Structure 1
């Protein structure tokens, strides 16, 4: 028995030492490739110039002379220097001037991300960080999830290969012992990628395409199944904000699809958008134009419902931007004039609403 315990103890000690060595090695490899990363989740959502984690002055507590905003969104919250315009608009508020507060705005914005990404980022990346205001602006990227057969749709968007892997990793983040382990992160990530490849090998159409939807599936986009998922993600964000005692501004999603829209006329720059640019994207990236319009109206209704239910701040950007072509470079991304107007709409709302 003593011999058995000795062998068992030796093997256990060896295994622990091996795991520690692997953890150090894997962690060092990730930190070499991602110098500013100190947590596994940041490999998926790495530090960048707008999300705060490359700012040496970005600390958990808000400095007394600072007013801090976190913008949760996607590419619209990244393009056109969105955080800078939000900060500029707030900086001009009389009560901000009176209190001599310097406004800092950060954004989680990234192409194609949805409200689910924003919930994950807010929950895991910004745990322990305080903000005066959380600004939520989402609506269009979720619509891509509807372009698939009904039986394929998943409530956690795992019918996208990206989310099928991400959701596995996120479940790891809820395990206190493992959520800081780069080794555990790598094992889950590689396992998720292995499963994805196996599934795709068996059936190439197992997932919704990452980029443009399949032509044969566009008809399914008329059923806005994403609305309930969108509502759930917003509820999760709002509940987390309540738990953290942070105020939230919800906004409807502004867009414009001109009469007579076609992909050909868009590519030809013949629709009258304020600035015809190569970076603009056609509506078809999200689905058929009539389905996109329908879906955005439904999602905007969800946003309004959430604002009323949680009694949070609310700006109807869809109405205020008024489908003005001068404000857009495509269906949803802003021109310089558009982002200026968008930011001013928010500032006007807070003219008589002092937060601090």
Structure 2
């Protein structure tokens, strides 16, 4: 009996010591020591860290609006929140209270937006705005044999899936780290090819001609629509506005900037793939978005058809100039008022 007790205490001390050492190592890499699961917010979805701990209700005087998307409408690019607040108060009066929660982020796809929306399951919004259709095109730039319908061929998502697969990580990090080591060894032995979150290998750009992302985009939008319906939240889907100059085919190099407005920043189209493949991908995703809106009777704003094909409104194929940002906000606010989305 004493021997058994000795071994129990011994292994318990060994476990605690090992756990502390491993947690310290993870903390050095940026994982929170007490709640390593929060690495999801510290590394991947950084603009959700505060929002996730808030208590948001859709049964009070404040109209709470959640914004999902990519860099185009993210905070710091379009400045959509203050623009909408000003335009809506012109209609509803200065006393009207609006709260905008913008968790759109650069390079985020429909999958990122679905994951983030799922993470906000306890929050209740009056309106959810969805605007993104270009970032998923990036996922197509990999040999067909390596493409995965869950985008696990992109390292970003492979790492997220590994973290989400271990809900016990706050209790013990040992299973997660063992899985991570095994995962790493398997990748090395199998010479697994990953697509990075940003940019495209020029040798793989040709594979983007087939829009395999379409079925993934549709699946994740379906999930977002279902989630909004189950939570009783209004959802508005915006088709995606882009500009591929018809008279001046893009080359995918620095010379392309002359076909757009002069902005402080511009993203080369090759970030997502070859110009024609990206255009085709955006068109396909817009078709899917319109189809789903019709199928499930979801409010659709056809933003793609609102701004004119005017290069002065765009910094590149999708990011908006100051004039474009103003036009975008005006069109969206007018649509929200017309459709009484916050009434």
Identify if the C-alpha distance between structure 1 residues 47 and 342 changes in structure 2 by more than 3 Å, giving closer, same or farther.
Answer: same
Identify if the C-alpha distance between structure 1 residues 296 and 132 changes in structure 2 by more than 3 Å, giving closer, same or farther.
Answer: same
Please state how far the C-alpha of 1:13 moved relative to its aligned partner: 5.1
Q: CA-to-partner distance for each residue in 1:152-178, whole Å, 9 max, x for gaps?
A: 110111111111111222233xx4xx3
- The aligned residue for residue 42 of structure 2 is 43
SS at structure 1 position matched to 2:224 = helix
Please state how far the C-alpha of 1:312 moved relative to its aligned partner: 1.7
The whole-number CA distance in structure 2 between the counterparts of 1:44 and 1:190 is 20
Please state how far the C-alpha of 1:82 moved relative to its aligned partner: 2.8
The whole-number CA distance in structure 2 between the counterparts of 1:221 and 1:9 is 57
Q: 1:119 aligns with which of 111, 114, 121?
A: 114
Give the superposed CA RMSD: 3.5
Would you say the 8 A contact 1:114–1:141 is kept in 2? yes
The whole-number CA distance in structure 1 between the counterparts of 2:28 and 2:200 is 36
Identify if the C-alpha distance between structure 1 residues 21 and 292 changes in structure 2 by more than 3 Å, giving closer, same or farther.
Answer: closer
Identify if the C-alpha distance between structure 1 residues 29 and 90 changes in structure 2 by more than 3 Å, giving closer, same or farther.
Answer: farther
SS at structure 2 position matched to 1:297 = helix
1:160 aligns with 2:154: yes
1:258 aligns with 2:252: no
The whole-number CA distance in structure 2 between the counterparts of 1:38 and 1:60 is 22
The whole-number CA distance in structure 1 between the counterparts of 2:85 and 2:236 is 15
SS at structure 2 position matched to 1:351 = helix
Gaps of 5+ in 1: none
The whole-number CA distance in structure 2 between the counterparts of 1:202 and 1:187 is 22
The whole-number CA distance in structure 1 between the counterparts of 2:181 and 2:267 is 29
- The aligned residue for residue 6 of structure 1 is 5
Please state how far the C-alpha of 1:225 moved relative to its aligned partner: 0.4
- The aligned residue for residue 323 of structure 2 is 337
The whole-number CA distance in structure 2 between the counterparts of 1:37 and 1:10 is 26
Identify if the C-alpha distance between structure 1 residues 308 and 5 changes in structure 2 by more than 3 Å, giving closer, same or farther.
Answer: farther
1:53 aligns with 2:50: yes
Would you say the 8 A contact 1:161–1:196 is kept in 2? no
Gaps of 5+ in 2: none
TM-score computed with the length of structure 2 as normaliser:
0.84
Q: CA-to-partner distance for each residue in 1:21-79, whole Å, 9 max, x for gaps?
A: 67986897788979x9993431234544xx582799x5333583311111111111221
Please state how far the C-alpha of 1:193 moved relative to its aligned partner: 7.3
Please state how far the C-alpha of 1:353 moved relative to its aligned partner: 2.8
Identify if the C-alpha distance between structure 1 residues 202 and 53 changes in structure 2 by more than 3 Å, giving closer, same or farther.
Answer: same
Would you say the 8 A contact 1:143–1:287 is kept in 2? yes
Structure-to-structure mapping, 1:1-356, within 5 angstroms: 2-3=1-2, 6-7=5-6, 9-10=8-9, 14=13, 39-48=38-47, 53=50, 58-61=54-57, 64-78=60-74, 79-92=77-90, 94=91, 96-97=92-93, 100-124=95-119, 126-172=120-166, 175=167, 178=168, 181=170, 183-184=172-173, 188=176, 191-192=179-180, 195-196=183-184, 199=187, 203=191, 206-259=193-246, 260-263=248-251, 266-267=254-255, 269-271=257-259, 273-277=260-264, 279-354=265-340, 355-356=342-343
Would you say the 8 A contact 1:221–1:288 is kept in 2? yes
TM-score computed with the length of structure 1 as normaliser:
0.81
Q: CA-to-partner distance for each residue in 1:136-167, whole Å, 9 max, x for gaps?
A: 11111100111111111101111111111112
Would you say the 8 A contact 1:37–1:43 is kept in 2? no
The whole-number CA distance in structure 1 between the counterparts of 2:22 and 2:252 is 52
